Chain A
Amino acid sequence: MRRFSEFVANTMRVPKDAVMDLPRLSVCGDREIYIENHKGLAEYTDTDIRVKMRDGIMHISGKELRIIVMKYGSIVINGIFGAVIYENNGDKYKKC
Protein backbone atom coordinates (compact mmCIF):
# COMPACT_ATOMS: atom_id res chain seq x y z
CA MET A 1 0.00 0.00 0.00
CA ARG A 2 2.78 2.30 0.92
CA ARG A 3 4.69 1.55 -2.20
CA PHE A 4 1.54 2.17 -4.24
CA SER A 5 0.93 5.55 -2.62
CA GLU A 6 4.58 6.45 -3.19
CA PHE A 7 4.22 5.44 -6.83
CA VAL A 8 1.09 7.64 -7.15
CA ALA A 9 2.87 10.56 -5.49
CA ASN A 10 5.86 10.24 -7.78
CA THR A 11 3.93 9.84 -10.99
CA MET A 12 1.21 12.40 -10.32
CA ARG A 13 3.55 14.93 -8.67
CA VAL A 14 1.38 15.13 -5.52
CA PRO A 15 3.00 16.15 -2.21
CA LYS A 16 4.07 13.03 -0.39
CA ASP A 17 2.99 14.26 3.04
CA ALA A 18 -0.56 14.49 1.74
CA VAL A 19 -0.63 11.11 -0.03
CA MET A 20 1.65 9.00 2.17
CA ASP A 21 0.71 10.59 5.53
CA LEU A 22 4.34 11.49 6.16
CA PRO A 23 5.27 14.14 8.69
CA ARG A 24 6.18 17.59 7.39
CA LEU A 25 8.87 19.53 9.27
CA SER A 26 9.65 23.20 9.14
CA VAL A 27 12.87 24.03 10.98
CA CYS A 28 13.78 27.60 11.79
CA GLY A 29 17.51 27.61 12.51
CA ASP A 30 18.18 25.75 15.73
CA ARG A 31 15.40 27.52 17.62
CA GLU A 32 11.99 26.38 16.38
CA ILE A 33 10.48 23.29 14.75
CA TYR A 34 6.99 23.01 13.36
CA ILE A 35 5.82 19.41 12.85
CA GLU A 36 2.66 18.43 11.00
CA ASN A 37 1.08 15.00 10.71
CA HIS A 38 2.50 13.70 13.98
CA LYS A 39 0.90 10.88 15.87
CA GLY A 40 1.45 12.10 19.40
CA LEU A 41 4.09 12.49 22.05
CA ALA A 42 6.32 9.65 23.17
CA GLU A 43 8.60 11.52 25.57
CA TYR A 44 8.79 15.05 26.80
CA THR A 45 11.59 16.42 28.97
CA ASP A 46 13.73 19.55 29.04
CA THR A 47 16.42 17.97 26.89
CA ASP A 48 14.61 15.33 24.79
CA ILE A 49 11.34 15.29 22.95
CA ARG A 50 10.20 12.17 21.10
CA VAL A 51 7.32 12.63 18.72
CA LYS A 52 5.54 9.62 17.26
CA MET A 53 5.21 9.44 13.49
CA ARG A 54 3.73 6.96 11.08
CA ASP A 55 6.93 5.00 10.58
CA GLY A 56 8.69 5.52 13.83
CA ILE A 57 9.76 8.24 16.20
CA MET A 58 11.39 11.61 15.69
CA HIS A 59 13.86 12.37 18.46
CA ILE A 60 14.69 16.01 19.11
CA SER A 61 17.45 16.65 21.60
CA GLY A 62 18.77 19.95 22.86
CA LYS A 63 18.41 22.41 25.73
CA GLU A 64 15.42 24.20 27.24
CA LEU A 65 12.99 22.45 24.93
CA ARG A 66 9.37 23.58 25.22
CA ILE A 67 6.24 22.65 23.36
CA ILE A 68 4.64 26.01 22.79
CA VAL A 69 1.68 24.96 20.64
CA MET A 70 0.14 21.51 20.64
CA LYS A 71 -2.82 20.64 18.46
CA TYR A 72 -4.27 17.46 17.09
CA GLY A 73 -2.24 17.49 13.88
CA SER A 74 0.58 19.90 14.60
CA ILE A 75 3.12 20.74 17.22
CA VAL A 76 5.55 23.65 17.63
CA ILE A 77 8.72 23.12 19.64
CA ASN A 78 10.96 25.89 20.87
CA GLY A 79 14.40 25.70 22.38
CA ILE A 80 18.03 25.23 21.41
CA PHE A 81 18.28 22.09 19.33
CA GLY A 82 21.26 19.79 19.25
CA ALA A 83 19.97 17.09 16.91
CA VAL A 84 16.87 15.90 15.11
CA ILE A 85 17.01 12.13 14.66
CA TYR A 86 14.63 9.75 12.91
CA GLU A 87 14.36 6.48 14.81
CA ASN A 88 12.74 4.10 12.32
CA ASN A 89 11.59 1.05 14.23
CA GLY A 90 14.84 1.06 16.11
CA ASP A 91 16.93 -0.48 13.27
CA LYS A 92 18.07 2.54 11.41
CA TYR A 93 19.11 6.05 12.42
CA LYS A 94 18.99 8.99 10.12
CA LYS A 95 20.41 12.23 11.35
CA CYS A 96 19.62 15.55 9.78
Chain B
Amino acid sequence: MLKKIFKFIKGYVIIEITGNNKERFVNMCLNNFLNIYDVVPIEDGLVMKTDRSSFFSMRRLVKKCGVRVRIVRKCGAMHTLRLYHRRYGFFAAGAAVAMFLFFLPQYVLCVEIDGEYNADESEIRQVLREHGVYPGARKKNIDDLSEIKDAIVFDIDGINWAWLYDEGARMRLQIQESSPKPKVNDKSTPMDIVAAHDGFVTRADVYRGERHVSIGTSVAAGDTLVSGKVAVFPLGAEERYMYVHSAAKVIADTVRTESGKFSTTETLRIRTGRARALLTLSIFGRDIDLFRRVGYADYDENKIRHDLDIPVIGYSGLSLTVTTAREIRQVQRELTEDEVLARASEVLEERICKKLGARAVRTDEELAFAKNGDVYSVELRMHLKENIGIEVPLNEELSG
Protein backbone atom coordinates (compact mmCIF):
# COMPACT_ATOMS: atom_id res chain seq x y z
CA MET B 1 0.00 0.00 0.00
CA LEU B 2 2.82 2.37 0.94
CA LYS B 3 4.53 1.53 -2.33
CA LYS B 4 1.38 2.38 -4.23
CA ILE B 5 1.12 5.72 -2.44
CA PHE B 6 4.71 6.59 -3.33
CA LYS B 7 4.10 5.57 -6.92
CA PHE B 8 1.07 7.81 -7.03
CA ILE B 9 2.96 10.73 -5.55
CA LYS B 10 5.86 10.31 -8.00
CA GLY B 11 3.50 9.78 -10.91
CA TYR B 12 3.47 7.12 -13.58
CA VAL B 13 2.49 6.61 -17.21
CA ILE B 14 0.47 3.78 -18.71
CA ILE B 15 1.78 3.01 -22.19
CA GLU B 16 0.78 0.67 -24.99
CA ILE B 17 3.51 -0.99 -27.04
CA THR B 18 2.69 -2.33 -30.49
CA GLY B 19 4.90 -3.71 -33.21
CA ASN B 20 6.87 -6.85 -33.95
CA ASN B 21 9.65 -6.41 -31.41
CA LYS B 22 7.64 -5.72 -28.31
CA GLU B 23 9.28 -8.54 -26.33
CA ARG B 24 12.67 -7.22 -27.37
CA PHE B 25 11.66 -3.80 -26.16
CA VAL B 26 10.75 -5.24 -22.76
CA ASN B 27 14.09 -7.05 -22.58
CA MET B 28 15.97 -3.90 -23.46
CA CYS B 29 14.09 -1.97 -20.82
CA LEU B 30 15.16 -4.54 -18.24
CA ASN B 31 18.75 -4.53 -19.47
CA ASN B 32 18.80 -0.75 -19.19
CA PHE B 33 17.31 -0.91 -15.69
CA LEU B 34 14.20 1.01 -16.67
CA ASN B 35 11.38 0.53 -14.25
CA ILE B 36 8.43 -1.20 -15.92
CA TYR B 37 5.67 -3.07 -14.13
CA ASP B 38 2.14 -4.46 -14.55
CA VAL B 39 2.93 -5.72 -18.06
CA VAL B 40 -0.29 -7.04 -19.54
CA PRO B 41 -0.64 -8.54 -23.03
CA ILE B 42 -3.41 -7.18 -25.23
CA GLU B 43 -4.56 -8.20 -28.67
CA ASP B 44 -1.64 -6.83 -30.67
CA GLY B 45 0.76 -5.56 -28.08
CA LEU B 46 1.52 -4.97 -24.44
CA VAL B 47 0.26 -2.48 -21.90
CA MET B 48 2.59 -1.55 -19.08
CA LYS B 49 3.21 1.07 -16.46
CA THR B 50 6.40 3.00 -16.11
CA ASP B 51 7.50 5.92 -14.02
CA ARG B 52 8.11 9.35 -15.48
CA SER B 53 11.90 9.20 -15.54
CA SER B 54 11.95 5.76 -17.17
CA PHE B 55 9.43 6.90 -19.75
CA PHE B 56 11.72 9.69 -20.96
CA SER B 57 14.64 7.23 -21.18
CA MET B 58 12.69 4.91 -23.45
CA ARG B 59 12.93 7.03 -26.61
CA ARG B 60 16.27 5.62 -27.59
CA LEU B 61 15.05 2.03 -27.14
CA VAL B 62 11.85 2.71 -29.07
CA LYS B 63 13.83 3.83 -32.11
CA LYS B 64 16.12 0.84 -31.83
CA CYS B 65 13.34 -1.76 -31.57
CA GLY B 66 11.03 -0.12 -34.06
CA VAL B 67 7.98 -0.43 -31.85
CA ARG B 68 5.22 2.11 -31.50
CA VAL B 69 4.48 3.61 -28.12
CA ARG B 70 1.17 5.22 -27.27
CA ILE B 71 0.42 6.90 -23.95
CA VAL B 72 -2.81 5.47 -22.59
CA ARG B 73 -3.00 7.62 -19.49
CA LYS B 74 -0.87 9.78 -17.27
CA CYS B 75 -1.51 9.26 -13.58
CA GLY B 76 -0.28 10.44 -10.23
CA ALA B 77 -0.20 13.50 -8.03
CA MET B 78 2.48 15.29 -10.05
CA HIS B 79 0.49 14.88 -13.22
CA THR B 80 -2.69 16.16 -11.55
CA LEU B 81 -0.81 19.16 -10.20
CA ARG B 82 0.62 19.88 -13.62
CA LEU B 83 -2.88 19.58 -15.10
CA TYR B 84 -4.45 22.02 -12.68
CA HIS B 85 -1.55 24.34 -12.00
CA ARG B 86 -3.14 27.28 -13.82
CA ARG B 87 -6.57 26.86 -12.27
CA TYR B 88 -6.24 29.48 -9.59
CA GLY B 89 -9.95 29.42 -8.77
CA PHE B 90 -9.74 25.74 -7.97
CA PHE B 91 -6.85 26.26 -5.58
CA ALA B 92 -8.55 29.31 -4.06
CA ALA B 93 -11.68 27.24 -3.41
CA GLY B 94 -9.58 24.45 -1.88
CA ALA B 95 -7.85 26.96 0.37
CA ALA B 96 -11.21 28.46 1.34
CA VAL B 97 -12.56 25.02 2.26
CA ALA B 98 -9.42 24.27 4.26
CA MET B 99 -9.78 27.59 6.11
CA PHE B 100 -13.45 26.88 6.69
CA LEU B 101 -12.64 23.48 8.12
CA PHE B 102 -9.95 25.04 10.25
CA PHE B 103 -12.17 27.77 11.67
CA LEU B 104 -15.35 25.69 11.86
CA PRO B 105 -14.58 23.91 15.11
CA GLN B 106 -13.76 27.19 16.78
CA TYR B 107 -17.34 28.47 16.58
CA VAL B 108 -20.69 27.24 17.82
CA LEU B 109 -23.06 27.19 14.88
CA CYS B 110 -26.06 25.57 16.47
CA VAL B 111 -27.23 24.68 19.96
CA GLU B 112 -29.48 21.70 20.50
CA ILE B 113 -31.28 20.70 23.65
CA ASP B 114 -31.77 17.00 24.08
CA GLY B 115 -33.81 15.08 26.63
CA GLU B 116 -37.30 15.01 28.10
CA TYR B 117 -38.16 18.23 29.87
CA ASN B 118 -41.09 20.46 30.72
CA ALA B 119 -39.00 23.51 31.51
CA ASP B 120 -39.22 26.56 29.27
CA GLU B 121 -36.75 26.19 26.40
CA SER B 122 -36.20 29.93 26.09
CA GLU B 123 -35.22 30.02 29.76
CA ILE B 124 -32.65 27.26 29.18
CA ARG B 125 -31.29 29.05 26.12
CA GLN B 126 -31.05 32.29 28.11
CA VAL B 127 -28.95 30.55 30.76
CA LEU B 128 -26.73 29.09 28.05
CA ARG B 129 -26.38 32.51 26.39
CA GLU B 130 -25.30 34.04 29.67
CA HIS B 131 -22.48 31.53 29.72
CA GLY B 132 -21.48 32.17 26.13
CA VAL B 133 -23.27 29.29 24.41
CA TYR B 134 -25.28 30.59 21.45
CA PRO B 135 -25.12 30.21 17.66
CA GLY B 136 -22.17 32.19 16.37
CA ALA B 137 -20.26 32.24 19.66
CA ARG B 138 -16.56 31.46 19.83
CA LYS B 139 -15.83 28.33 21.79
CA LYS B 140 -12.93 30.09 23.43
CA ASN B 141 -15.38 32.40 25.23
CA ILE B 142 -17.57 29.63 26.60
CA ASP B 143 -17.47 29.23 30.37
CA ASP B 144 -16.34 26.07 32.04
CA LEU B 145 -18.76 23.24 31.33
CA SER B 146 -19.18 22.42 35.02
CA GLU B 147 -20.26 26.00 35.66
CA ILE B 148 -22.83 25.83 32.89
CA LYS B 149 -24.14 22.55 34.24
CA ASP B 150 -24.45 24.01 37.76
CA ALA B 151 -26.18 27.11 36.44
CA ILE B 152 -28.77 25.05 34.56
CA VAL B 153 -29.41 22.69 37.44
CA PHE B 154 -29.69 25.44 40.07
CA ASP B 155 -31.40 28.18 38.05
CA ILE B 156 -34.06 26.13 36.29
CA ASP B 157 -36.59 24.29 38.40
CA GLY B 158 -37.09 20.61 37.86
CA ILE B 159 -33.80 19.87 36.09
CA ASN B 160 -31.60 17.61 38.14
CA TRP B 161 -28.88 16.79 35.62
CA ALA B 162 -27.39 18.50 32.60
CA TRP B 163 -24.26 18.29 30.52
CA LEU B 164 -23.03 20.13 27.48
CA TYR B 165 -21.42 18.12 24.70
CA ASP B 166 -19.08 19.72 22.19
CA GLU B 167 -19.77 18.08 18.83
CA GLY B 168 -17.85 20.19 16.34
CA ALA B 169 -20.00 23.09 15.25
CA ARG B 170 -22.86 21.90 17.43
CA MET B 171 -23.22 22.18 21.20
CA ARG B 172 -25.69 19.63 22.51
CA LEU B 173 -27.19 20.10 25.92
CA GLN B 174 -28.41 16.87 27.44
CA ILE B 175 -30.80 17.48 30.30
CA GLN B 176 -32.90 15.33 32.54
CA GLU B 177 -35.73 16.42 34.76
CA SER B 178 -36.35 15.02 38.17
CA SER B 179 -39.60 13.11 38.51
CA PRO B 180 -41.75 14.39 41.38
CA LYS B 181 -41.59 12.36 44.57
CA PRO B 182 -44.66 10.32 45.47
CA LYS B 183 -46.68 11.95 48.22
CA VAL B 184 -46.16 10.02 51.44
CA ASN B 185 -48.10 11.00 54.50
CA ASP B 186 -46.13 11.42 57.64
CA LYS B 187 -46.87 8.59 60.04
CA SER B 188 -47.13 11.03 62.92
CA THR B 189 -49.98 12.96 61.23
CA PRO B 190 -53.45 11.85 62.44
CA MET B 191 -55.37 10.33 59.52
CA ASP B 192 -58.77 8.75 58.95
CA ILE B 193 -59.52 5.97 56.54
CA VAL B 194 -62.58 6.52 54.38
CA ALA B 195 -64.29 4.49 51.68
CA ALA B 196 -63.12 5.35 48.19
CA HIS B 197 -66.09 3.66 46.58
CA ASP B 198 -69.51 2.22 47.42
CA GLY B 199 -69.31 -1.40 48.46
CA PHE B 200 -70.29 -4.28 50.66
CA VAL B 201 -67.63 -4.92 53.29
CA THR B 202 -66.49 -8.54 53.52
CA ARG B 203 -63.36 -8.10 55.56
CA ALA B 204 -61.92 -5.35 57.77
CA ASP B 205 -58.51 -5.64 59.41
CA VAL B 206 -57.84 -2.57 61.55
CA TYR B 207 -54.20 -2.19 62.58
CA ARG B 208 -54.38 1.29 64.07
CA GLY B 209 -57.29 3.65 64.85
CA GLU B 210 -60.89 3.28 65.95
CA ARG B 211 -63.05 0.91 63.90
CA HIS B 212 -66.23 2.46 62.45
CA VAL B 213 -66.99 -0.29 59.98
CA SER B 214 -68.24 -3.80 60.50
CA ILE B 215 -68.22 -6.83 58.25
CA GLY B 216 -71.41 -7.46 56.30
CA THR B 217 -72.44 -3.83 56.04
CA SER B 218 -72.73 -1.62 53.00
CA VAL B 219 -70.73 1.58 52.84
CA ALA B 220 -70.96 4.57 50.57
CA ALA B 221 -68.07 6.49 49.09
CA GLY B 222 -66.71 8.95 51.67
CA ASP B 223 -67.92 7.06 54.74
CA THR B 224 -65.36 6.92 57.54
CA LEU B 225 -64.22 3.35 57.98
CA VAL B 226 -61.52 3.86 60.58
CA SER B 227 -61.06 7.01 62.63
CA GLY B 228 -57.75 8.47 63.72
CA LYS B 229 -59.36 9.91 66.85
CA VAL B 230 -59.33 7.18 69.45
CA ALA B 231 -61.20 7.56 72.77
CA VAL B 232 -59.03 6.66 75.77
CA PHE B 233 -61.27 7.21 78.77
CA PRO B 234 -63.50 4.95 80.83
CA LEU B 235 -67.23 5.56 81.05
CA GLY B 236 -68.16 8.49 83.23
CA ALA B 237 -64.63 9.89 83.29
CA GLU B 238 -63.36 13.02 81.59
CA GLU B 239 -63.21 12.68 77.80
CA ARG B 240 -59.70 12.13 76.50
CA TYR B 241 -58.67 11.26 72.99
CA MET B 242 -55.55 10.02 71.32
CA TYR B 243 -54.89 11.01 67.69
CA VAL B 244 -53.27 8.34 65.53
CA HIS B 245 -52.35 7.70 61.91
CA SER B 246 -54.95 5.05 61.03
CA ALA B 247 -53.98 1.86 59.28
CA ALA B 248 -56.46 -0.75 58.04
CA LYS B 249 -57.32 -3.06 55.19
CA VAL B 250 -60.98 -2.96 54.29
CA ILE B 251 -61.93 -5.42 51.57
CA ALA B 252 -65.32 -4.91 49.96
CA ASP B 253 -67.33 -6.18 47.02
CA THR B 254 -67.75 -3.28 44.66
CA VAL B 255 -69.25 -2.68 41.26
CA ARG B 256 -67.67 -0.31 38.80
CA THR B 257 -69.53 0.89 35.76
CA GLU B 258 -68.33 2.49 32.59
CA SER B 259 -70.27 3.25 29.46
CA GLY B 260 -69.66 4.65 26.01
CA LYS B 261 -70.90 4.90 22.47
CA PHE B 262 -69.26 2.88 19.71
CA SER B 263 -69.73 3.15 16.00
CA THR B 264 -70.34 0.15 13.76
CA THR B 265 -67.89 1.44 11.19
CA GLU B 266 -64.16 1.73 11.44
CA THR B 267 -61.73 3.69 9.33
CA LEU B 268 -58.79 1.73 7.96
CA ARG B 269 -55.64 3.53 6.78
CA ILE B 270 -54.24 1.49 3.91
CA ARG B 271 -50.98 2.32 2.15
CA THR B 272 -51.39 2.69 -1.60
CA GLY B 273 -47.76 1.78 -2.23
CA ARG B 274 -46.83 5.20 -3.54
CA ALA B 275 -44.11 6.97 -1.62
CA ARG B 276 -41.93 10.03 -2.02
CA ALA B 277 -38.70 11.00 -0.38
CA LEU B 278 -38.68 14.63 0.64
CA LEU B 279 -35.40 16.29 1.45
CA THR B 280 -34.83 19.02 3.97
CA LEU B 281 -31.43 20.63 4.22
CA SER B 282 -30.47 21.96 7.60
CA ILE B 283 -27.71 24.57 7.54
CA PHE B 284 -26.51 25.62 10.98
CA GLY B 285 -29.90 24.91 12.52
CA ARG B 286 -32.00 26.52 9.77
CA ASP B 287 -34.21 24.16 7.79
CA ILE B 288 -34.59 24.61 4.06
CA ASP B 289 -37.17 22.39 2.34
CA LEU B 290 -35.89 21.11 -0.98
CA PHE B 291 -39.35 20.11 -2.18
CA ARG B 292 -42.41 22.09 -3.18
CA ARG B 293 -45.29 19.96 -2.09
CA VAL B 294 -45.97 16.40 -1.03
CA GLY B 295 -48.70 15.83 -3.59
CA TYR B 296 -50.70 13.34 -1.50
CA ALA B 297 -54.00 14.17 0.17
CA ASP B 298 -53.30 11.89 3.12
CA TYR B 299 -49.99 10.34 4.06
CA ASP B 300 -47.83 8.93 6.83
CA GLU B 301 -44.35 10.26 7.22
CA ASN B 302 -41.12 8.89 8.59
CA LYS B 303 -38.14 11.15 9.16
CA ILE B 304 -34.50 10.13 9.16
CA ARG B 305 -31.87 12.75 9.83
CA HIS B 306 -28.31 12.47 8.54
CA ASP B 307 -25.73 14.78 10.10
CA LEU B 308 -22.56 15.51 8.19
CA ASP B 309 -19.80 14.72 10.66
CA ILE B 310 -16.25 15.42 9.62
CA PRO B 311 -13.60 13.25 11.27
CA VAL B 312 -11.72 15.07 14.05
CA ILE B 313 -13.81 18.23 13.59
CA GLY B 314 -17.17 16.66 14.36
CA TYR B 315 -20.56 18.03 13.28
CA SER B 316 -20.15 20.34 10.31
CA GLY B 317 -23.41 22.23 10.79
CA LEU B 318 -25.02 20.56 7.78
CA SER B 319 -27.77 17.96 8.03
CA LEU B 320 -30.05 16.32 5.55
CA THR B 321 -33.41 15.09 6.69
CA VAL B 322 -35.06 12.52 4.49
CA THR B 323 -38.80 12.39 5.05
CA THR B 324 -40.49 9.42 3.47
CA ALA B 325 -44.13 10.27 2.76
CA ARG B 326 -46.27 7.21 2.10
CA GLU B 327 -49.68 7.80 0.58
CA ILE B 328 -52.61 6.57 2.62
CA ARG B 329 -56.10 5.64 1.47
CA GLN B 330 -58.87 5.69 4.05
CA VAL B 331 -61.41 2.92 3.83
CA GLN B 332 -64.57 2.59 5.88
CA ARG B 333 -65.31 -0.92 7.09
CA GLU B 334 -68.52 -2.21 8.64
CA LEU B 335 -68.00 -4.09 11.90
CA THR B 336 -70.09 -7.00 13.05
CA GLU B 337 -71.91 -6.81 16.37
CA ASP B 338 -69.41 -9.17 18.01
CA GLU B 339 -66.52 -7.05 16.84
CA VAL B 340 -68.12 -3.85 18.16
CA LEU B 341 -68.82 -5.41 21.55
CA ALA B 342 -65.31 -6.92 21.81
CA ARG B 343 -63.76 -3.55 21.13
CA ALA B 344 -66.16 -1.77 23.50
CA SER B 345 -65.40 -4.28 26.23
CA GLU B 346 -61.68 -3.75 25.76
CA VAL B 347 -61.95 0.04 25.89
CA LEU B 348 -64.27 0.13 28.89
CA GLU B 349 -62.21 -2.41 30.82
CA GLU B 350 -59.16 -0.25 30.28
CA ARG B 351 -61.00 2.80 31.57
CA ILE B 352 -62.10 0.97 34.73
CA CYS B 353 -58.70 -0.56 35.39
CA LYS B 354 -57.05 2.86 35.26
CA LYS B 355 -59.17 3.93 38.23
CA LEU B 356 -58.54 0.84 40.35
CA GLY B 357 -56.18 0.58 43.26
CA ALA B 358 -53.57 -2.12 43.70
CA ARG B 359 -54.52 -5.76 44.10
CA ALA B 360 -58.15 -5.44 43.03
CA VAL B 361 -59.57 -8.77 41.89
CA ARG B 362 -62.26 -9.04 39.21
CA THR B 363 -64.98 -11.49 40.19
CA ASP B 364 -67.49 -10.95 37.42
CA GLU B 365 -68.52 -8.61 34.64
CA GLU B 366 -71.67 -7.80 32.66
CA LEU B 367 -71.91 -6.11 29.32
CA ALA B 368 -75.19 -4.39 28.39
CA PHE B 369 -75.78 -2.72 25.07
CA ALA B 370 -78.43 -1.03 22.99
CA LYS B 371 -78.26 -0.35 19.28
CA ASN B 372 -79.38 3.00 17.98
CA GLY B 373 -78.85 3.24 14.22
CA ASP B 374 -75.14 2.94 13.54
CA VAL B 375 -74.18 3.48 17.16
CA TYR B 376 -74.01 1.02 20.02
CA SER B 377 -74.42 2.31 23.57
CA VAL B 378 -72.47 -0.12 25.70
CA GLU B 379 -72.27 -0.32 29.48
CA LEU B 380 -69.80 -2.51 31.32
CA ARG B 381 -70.40 -3.47 34.95
CA MET B 382 -67.39 -5.00 36.59
CA HIS B 383 -67.71 -6.78 39.94
CA LEU B 384 -64.60 -6.51 42.05
CA LYS B 385 -63.14 -7.41 45.38
CA GLU B 386 -60.86 -4.56 46.44
CA ASN B 387 -59.45 -2.55 49.28
CA ILE B 388 -61.64 0.53 49.41
CA GLY B 389 -59.92 2.29 52.32
CA ILE B 390 -57.95 5.44 51.56
CA GLU B 391 -56.16 7.74 53.94
CA VAL B 392 -57.48 11.27 54.38
CA PRO B 393 -56.54 13.94 56.95
CA LEU B 394 -58.45 13.52 60.18
CA ASN B 395 -61.82 15.24 60.30
CA GLU B 396 -62.65 16.08 63.93
CA GLU B 397 -66.39 16.44 63.33
CA LEU B 398 -66.87 13.22 61.43
CA SER B 399 -64.49 11.26 63.66
CA GLY B 400 -66.11 12.55 66.81
Contacts and interface: CB of A to CB of B under 8 A. Distances in A.
Given A40-B23, A44-B46, A72 B37 contact: no
Interface residues of A, number: 15
B98 interface: no
Contacts of B22: 44
Contacts, number: 34
Interface in B18-58: 22-24, 26-27, 30-31, 33, 36-41, 46
A44 B33 contact: no
Contacts of B41: 44-46
Contacts of B40: 66
Contact of B23 (A42, A68, A72): A42
A92 interface: no
Nearest to A74: B30
A68 B41 CA distance: 12
A69 interface: yes
Chain B interface residue number, banded: 10 to 19
Given A44-B46, A45-B41, A70 B23 contact: no
A14 interface: no
Contacts of A44: 22-23, 26, 39, 41, 46
Contacts of A68: 38
B31 A41 contact: no
Given A40-B27, A45-B41, A72 B33 contact: yes
Nearest to A50: B23
A67 B21 CA distance: 18
Interface in A35-73: 40-46, 52, 66-72
Nearest to A66: B40
Nearest to B36: A70
A70 B31 contact: no
A12 B356 CA distance: 107
5 contacts: A40-B24, A41-B27, A46-B41, A66-B39, A68-B38
3 cross-chain pairs, A with B, having the tightest CB-CB distances, nearest first: A40-B27, A41-B23, A45-B41
Given A44-B22, A44-B46, A72-B33, 12 more contacts: A40-B23, A40-B24, A40-B27, A41-B26, A41-B27, A42-B23, A45-B41, A52-B27, A68-B38, A70-B30, A70-B36, A72-B30
